[in-house]
Amino acid sequence: MSNQAPFIAFRNVYKSFRDAREGRLVHALDNISLEIERGAFVTVIGPSGCGKTTLLNLLAGFERPSSGEVLLEGEAIERPGADRGVVFQEYALFPWLTLRQNVEYGPRERGIPASLVREITDRTLAMVKLAGAENRYPHELSGGMRQRAAIARVLVNDPKILLMDEPFAALDAQTRARLQQEVARVWMETRKTVFFVTHSVEEAVLLADRVIAMTALPGRLKADVEIKLPRPRDPTSPSFNDHRRELENLLRDEIIIGAATGNA
Amino acid sequence: MHPASLSQPAGLVRAGPKAPQFDATADAARRKIWRLARRIALPAAILIAWQAVTAAQWVSSASLPSPLAVAAAWWEWIFGPRQALAWYSGTWGLYLLMSLERVAAGFAIAAAAGVSLGVLIGWYAVVEDLFDGTINFLRAVPMTAWVPFAVFLFGIHESAAIFLIAFGSFFPIVVNVAAGARQTPRILIRAARMLGTPPRRLLLRVVLPAALPSIFTGLRVGLGLAWVLVIVAEMLAVQGGLGYALWSAYQFSRLDLILAAIVSVGGLGLASDRLISLLARRILRWQTGSMGQ
């Protein structure tokens, strides 16, 4: 049964919640149905506040759908778990733990023996190129290093899927470009499914097999585009720009609609 | 950090490569000495003025003893022979120890109870609802108002003093810890959950460490209050201790001993505050701006 089930499925998902400040009801997701196959690199783009992070929070198990279901290998996602690693824009490292302790946190919580924890931590730190900075605290690391650490601490759990919520939005352009390359490389090496939320069309096209574009609120699926460009990708090539133009035109409409309804 | 390297291009520095470094360390040493001088200037000025005023007889030595007279009385209080009739001679060490023990016992109880209850109040809405109102009411009662109650309940006994200290310093601790625990960033809770921490372990893994800065703030305020309360308790409720000495000195009209006791209590309070902020700085090394000072 679960062999037949798609890896991830959203089935008629609605999500609404009350806005904390204004108290009005926000319809974040409106009848989303979507399937994602194992090993895919999916990016989600859309105007700001369009519900793309809500989509990610449902997968993470941080939130539950108002109706409909979100399934992982045929089973409803009910709570957060180490099989779904989340990388936040704000890093969310534990400030009281050193880099190494942050990475070791997950395996230790799951009761993995200490010697093995050491080994997989070393391997993961090397993979994200952080070996040598293990004993520093997060506030002593640069933004790029913090985000590498945040990626390492979920990779070390060997999750089924990586959920990345605008992970590079707070970084400077150079660091962002380097980390984009690294994520692409890690994905090629591990072939983990990646669900990557971004507001940058270029980032979406650079990384993804498949770009999902969302509408302004209430969030619906606007387009689902396959990107078949060879890797590593060249953002200056004509074919890259074709994809980019297509997606930007789609989004421009949504931003205008969003502005008109006050949701941009 | 290196003034020479910052203010001018390296090529313009004529002196050898070691010269600017030597200047920098000498400069730092000089700045350190000046800083120390500035820090002791006020206490030194007060002592000198006090000595001058009393030496010039602007006030009678009965109404204000000179610093030297205070020092002499203090000396006798510390090192004088123990006598059956003189309550103070040679009792300083003993009284100091008594006060210290009371503060330690009362503060330990307050810290243990305040930190554990505070974290629970900050994290569980049920616990907050159960305790918040009562704590806020009791907190509004000045602690000295509890003295008659404590003496009535415990008698003139150690436990009255320890009750007062524990009860009084409990409130700033519990309130600060609860506020800290309440402010645990939601994103860190989410991070712990997605890394495999079950809900029941979040308190220990995330809420408690996230509240550590507030815990130390509470402990510091609580310890300060513990010193206030030990003096109050010793003046009114128990025998022995620096507060008892203070009150006895008043009854015997010994202003020199009153002043010696005040300086003793101040020194102890300062030392214990330094100790706790040193501890905080070690434990909170991970913080961007370290607390303490």
Does any domain span residue A62? no
pTM exceeds 0.80:
yes
Task: For residue B192, give every residue at least 6 positions away whose Cβ sits within 8 Å of its Cβ, in sequence order, or none.
Answer: A94, A105, A109, B202, B205, B206
- CA–CA min distance A256, chain B (Å): 31
CB nearest to A82's CB, from B195, B206, B287: B195
pLDDT given for residue A260 in this prediction: 57
Q: In what order do the strands lie in the sheet with A67-72?
A: A25-36, A8-18, A67-72, A75-76
pLDDT given for residue B21 in this prediction: 55
Whether residue A167 lies within 8 A of chain B, CB to CB, comes out as no
pLDDT given for residue B186 in this prediction: 93
Q: Is A245 exposed, middle or buried (0-12, 13-18, 19+ CB in 10 A)?
A: exposed
B187 contacts in chain A (CB < 8 Å): 88, 90, 92
* Region A124-133 average pLDDT: 86
Does any domain span residue A64? no
Number of domains in chain A: 1
Of all residues in chain A, the one with the smallest CA distance to B285 is A96
Does any domain span residue A44? no
Residue contact A84–B194, C-beta within 8 A: yes
A93 contacts in chain B (CB < 8 Å): 191
pLDDT tens-digit map of A47-88: 777 788 889 999 999 999 999 999 999 898 999 999 999 999
Q: Contact, A239 vs A229, CB < 8 A?
A: yes
pLDDT given for residue A196 in this prediction: 93
Check pLDDT > 90 for residue A5.
Answer: no
What is the share, in percent, of chain A residues with pLDDT greater than 90? 41
pLDDT given for residue A259 in this prediction: 59
pLDDT band at A256 (very low <50, low <70, confident <90, very high): low
Domain that holds residue A111: 94-158
Compute φ and ψ for B91, nearest 5 degrees: -100, -5
Whether residue A100 lies within 8 A of chain B, CB to CB, comes out as no
pLDDT band at A46 (very low <50, low <70, confident <90, very high): confident
Give the CATH number of domain B78-283.
1.10.3720.10
Does any domain span residue A147? yes
Of all residues in chain A, the one with the smallest CA distance to B196 is A82
Q: Which residues of B touch A (CB under 8 A)?
A: 185, 187-188, 190-197, 201, 205-206, 209-210, 212, 285-288
Top-confidence residue, A223 or B282: B282
Check pLDDT > 60 for residue A34.
Answer: yes
Check pLDDT > 50 for residue A264.
Answer: no
Q: Which of A96, A101, A110, A165 to mutate to test the interface with B (most CBs of B within 10 A)?
A: A96
Residue contact B195–A105, C-beta within 8 A: yes
pLDDT given for residue B217 in this prediction: 94
Does any domain span residue A140? yes
Does any domain span residue A123? yes
Q: Contact, A105 vs B195, CB < 8 A?
A: yes
A110 contacts in chain B (CB < 8 Å): 196
Of all residues in chain B, the one with the smallest CA distance to A83 is B194
**Rounded distance between C-alpha atoms, residue A66 and residue A12, angstroms:** 10
pLDDT band at A2 (very low <50, low <70, confident <90, very high): very low
A80 contacts in chain B (CB < 8 Å): 190, 193-194
Does any domain span residue A135? yes
pLDDT band at A156 (very low <50, low <70, confident <90, very high): very high
pLDDT band at A91 (very low <50, low <70, confident <90, very high): very high
Q: Is B60 exposed, middle or buried (0-12, 13-18, 19+ CB in 10 A)?
A: exposed
ipTM of this complex: 0.90
Check pLDDT > 80 for residue A140.
Answer: yes
B285 contacts in chain A (CB < 8 Å): 137
CB nearest to B288's CB, from A88, A110, A139: A139
Whether residue A102 lies within 8 A of chain B, CB to CB, comes out as no
Domain boundaries, chain B: 3-55, 78-283
Residue contact A60–B188, C-beta within 8 A: no
pLDDT given for residue B89 in this prediction: 81
Burial B216-248 (b: 16+ CB within 10 A, else e): bbbbbbbbbbbbbbbbbbbbbbbebbbbbbbbb
Residue contact A92–B205, C-beta within 8 A: no
B193 contacts in chain A (CB < 8 Å): 61-62, 79-80
Q: Is B142 exposed, middle or buried (0-12, 13-18, 19+ CB in 10 A)?
A: exposed
CB nearest to B194's CB, from A85, A95, A97: A85
CB nearest to A90's CB, from B187, B205, B287: B187
**Rounded distance between C-alpha atoms, residue B190 and residue A81, angstroms:** 10
Residues of chain B with pLDDT under 70: 1-23, 84-86, 289-293
Please give the structure tokens belonging to residue A23: 């108290």
Name the average pLDDT for chain A.
87
Residue contact B210–A96, C-beta within 8 A: yes
B210 contacts in chain A (CB < 8 Å): 96
Of all residues in chain A, the one with the smallest CA distance to B288 is A139
DSSP A119-157: HHHHHHHHHTT-TT-TTS-GGGS-HHHHHHHHHHHHHTT
pLDDT given for residue B207 in this prediction: 95
Q: Rounded to whole angstroms, what are the CA distances from B65 to A257, B37, B57, B112, B261? A: 84, 27, 10, 43, 14
